[in-house]
Structure 1
Amino acid sequence: MNKILLKSCFLLFIVIIILTFFDSSFKRPTKSSYAKEEYNKLKGQVDVAFFGSSHVQSTLNPIIIDSITGLNSFNFGTPAQRFTATIPMVDMVLKKEKLKLAVVDIFEMSLGTNLNKHSKNLQYEALDNVEMSWAKFKAFGDIYGFENILNLSTIIRNHNLLVQSSYYKKADLKELFYSKGFYTSTTTFSNEVWNKFQNKQNKLNSKHKKLSKKNLTDVEKDLINQVIKQFRKAGVPFIFCSAPSYSEQYNIKYREYQNAIAEYLNKLKVPFLDYNNYWKELSLTKLDFNDPNHLNYRGSSKVSIHLSNVIKDELIPDFNTKKLKFKMKNLNDKKNLRIETEQKQLNEEIILDNIEITQNKLGYELKLFFDAASTSHNNLEKYRLGIHIYPKESSKDLVSERSKVDRISYDRFNVLLNKVKENELTIQLNTLIKDYKKTKLFLYDKDKYRGIIGNPIWITEEKQIK
């Protein structure tokens, strides 16, 4: 019995060795397999690594980043890469490199675990280019089920496909630009693509009309925690990053996920650089995108230059030690605005001393400071406060679905004034509008709208609080 067991184990060992040796001959030729070949030439020389989906793959350009920072970077992004596949990719790189910084792509899709057939197939692009390890074995089982573990071998999975692995040469890339794992297009998308995208977002928003607070699931939190643990165990500084996407601007559910991710990472005191907050600063337009969710060469250059300066200026290196240690500044400061208006009297009874607006993940936080006399004698209990936010041209398509149904060009809110405490009232305005042209504040009867009572206050000038 023991002899049979030993012979079986020996045979299994020989089979594994043979499968491992010949596996590369049966890999499907992809952009990722070509990038892996390029990485093999640089092993042991990488300072900065980028991990994640096609969002990071088409956003962070090592040529630009290396030229500005003086570091040596590589992009390990693959199409639709989920965190489950990112974990073994990180594991492989940490074993081979003494990284000075890691950047991890994160957004709604990257945390997904309930994958359809197409999404599962795309995970092969990551896993097939990760060397065998326990982390890879576990990830394969989590994605495809341990009953399919033999498919971990490309010989078994692709036995009818004997190919040359160096298929994607630069001459074959046509409209793609390649640089150390980074791929993007030099073209932009058509009006037809844009119209299809908008129609799709409108359908999604019709089922999910209101922007609300979302919490990550325990599974999503665990995936994030596993990645954090990998870098902390290796002593490697890291940041999470989201590439700019039109979905974040037009899809309510996508925005909720970004807010939930930011909130959780902030709770963990982990740096998060969400480039969806940098559209204005980077002057991003449709011309910067290959499709509504992926940057082209022009757009990726803008983000790559910005990240390079973050690495240089905000991730401060300590040159007194052999390893670079980065001190992270706050990358997610809220934008505080103090509003100055000539008219602060809503009617004869209600006067405002000051108005403040804080731009946050859900839209804007409006804080009103009432004159002491306004809050006496139960003056406030008779009224509701109406609020209309009028967008600038750049945000006119971001009004709520309710506003579109009502055929109005602004988002509107109302609140009872009996909630004022100690002469202050704080109101959260959940809106997708990022840049507003003007905001209207006015009083009306608390029971029913019978017209404006008194004079509206128009907020048209902004001053940033120092």
Structure 2
Amino acid sequence: MKKFLKQFALGLLVFIILNTIIAIIYEYPTYKSVKNKTNRNYLKWEAIHNNKNTFDLILIGTSRCYASFNPIIIDSVLNTNSYNMATSAQDIAETYYSLQEIFEYQNPKYIVLDMFFEASDESYDYYQTFSNSSFFNSKKRQLNLIYEGYGNTGILNYSIPVVKFKNYIKQDIAGILSKNKSLRKEDNWIKGYLYDTTIVSDTQISNYEPIANFSTSSFSRDRFNTYFNKIQALVSSNNAKLICVRTAYPPTRLELTDPDDEAIFFDSYLAEQQVPFFDLNTYKDDQYLYNDKDFADYHHLNYKGAKKASMQLVEALKQTKNN
């Protein structure tokens, strides 16, 4: 029995030390960036919290959204005051609770929501979600997201660093072994939008794969439906209008994709819900034609592509206003 207790105590000590080391390695850069006021999520929430009832147009969703829509371009045409609140790997539950927080401080007329299968799949990037929600002023809301959004698994990932950061640990190990280093930088932000000058390489284009569909993704229709209905009700109760968009993909990837389940599903679902939906891969494509070099990688627009996407959204908002 004593031997077992010693082994258990030693194992527990190793576990605590390992988690402490991982927490320091992965949490310290966030702590430092917040202290230096360079953390992008911190700055986004500071804009929302410190400029009450200022923004009349909020853009929200994943990194595909924050790479696509430049508020400066949109505002210059529509005379709005918009802000891009999209964040990396934003999950649809995270979107819902983020909008709760936003509506507590802002009174926007429009919410533009990015539609993306991976935002409603069964694979969650807990670190990104919890990092974003850590800047909510409402700690109750943050805890609701953790428990109601993800249940016991969410609590486990929130509490234990080695579990929370497991995907990043794997990526870092793979990065050490890989000769291919990412050249993409994310340091030029304009009202929540990433101004990215990276241009995808020909080698990357040659390695493009089809867009994820029902068989190659873990997209959950039930989960999407549950949280979309909550988002729709929340937006409506705050007297705002919900507009959904699907941001652009490189043409080469679209050519490889048959059928395009993402486009078909969202078009059908949102028509049923009577929610305005604009797929930027096809909307006014006679005026706004994308090419592969409008992208920074396999699904993020660079600044050239974002000019087109921002103007497409301007046209979509004008159309919505006139209907």
Tell me if both proteins adopt one fold, taking TM over 0.5 as the criterion. yes
For 1:301, the equivalent position in structure 2 comes to 307
Q: By how many angstroms is 1:38 displaced? A: 3.8
Q: Is contact 1:186–1:297 with CA below 8 Å preserved after alignment?
A: yes
Larger relative helix fraction: 2
Q: Distance in 1 between matches of 2:43 and 2:314?
A: 25
Q: By how many angstroms is 1:292 displaced? A: 2.1
Change (3 A) 1:147 1:109: closer
Q: By how many angstroms is 1:149 displaced? A: 7.1
Task: Please provide the CA RMSD for this pair.
Answer: 3.4
Structure 1 range deviating more: 124-133 or 139-148: 139-148
Q: By how many angstroms is 1:44 displaced? A: 2.0
Residue 136 of structure 2 is aligned with which of 123, 127, 130?
Answer: 130
- Residue 56 (1) aligns with residue 65 (2): yes
1:314 partner SS: helix
For 2:105, the equivalent position in structure 1 comes to 96
Larger relative strand fraction: 1
Q: Distance in 1 between matches of 2:311 and 2:106?
A: 24
CA deviations 1:190-244 (Å, max 9, x no partner) are: 11211222xx439x89x969xxxxx972222112111111101111111011100
Matches within 5 A, 1:32-51: 32-51=41-60
Change (3 A) 1:133 1:267: farther
Unaligned residue ranges in structure 2 (runs of 5+): 1-26, 34-38, 166-183
Partner letter of residue 50 of structure 1? L
1:185 partner SS: coil
For 1:182, the equivalent position in structure 2 comes to 193
Q: Distance in 2 between matches of 1:260 and 1:189?
A: 28
Q: By how many angstroms is 1:57 displaced? A: 0.6
For 2:294, the equivalent position in structure 1 comes to 288
Q: Distance in 2 between matches of 1:37 and 1:219?
A: 30
2:281 partner SS: helix
Q: Distance in 2 between matches of 1:248 and 1:86?
A: 26
Q: Percent identity?
A: 20
User: TM-score, normalised on structure 1?
Assistant: 0.51
User: TM-score, normalised on structure 2?
Assistant: 0.72
Q: Is contact 2:92–2:227 with CA below 8 Å preserved after alignment?
A: yes
2:127 partner SS: helix
For 2:232, the equivalent position in structure 1 comes to 228
Q: Is contact 1:78–1:125 with CA below 8 Å preserved after alignment?
A: no
Number of aligned positions between the proteins:
266
1:131 partner SS: coil
Say which structure, 1 or 2, has more relative contact order (CA 8 Å, 6+ apart): 2
- Residue 257 (1) aligns with residue 266 (2): no
For 2:155, the equivalent position in structure 1 comes to 148
Q: Distance in 2 between matches of 1:288 and 1:147?
A: 37
2:243 partner SS: strand
- Residue 238 (1) aligns with residue 242 (2): yes
Q: Distance in 2 between matches of 1:36 and 1:188?
A: 29
Q: Distance in 2 between matches of 1:175 and 1:98?
A: 29
Partner letter of residue 152 of structure 2? G
Moved over 6 A (4+): 23-26
Q: By how many angstroms is 1:301 displaced? A: 0.8
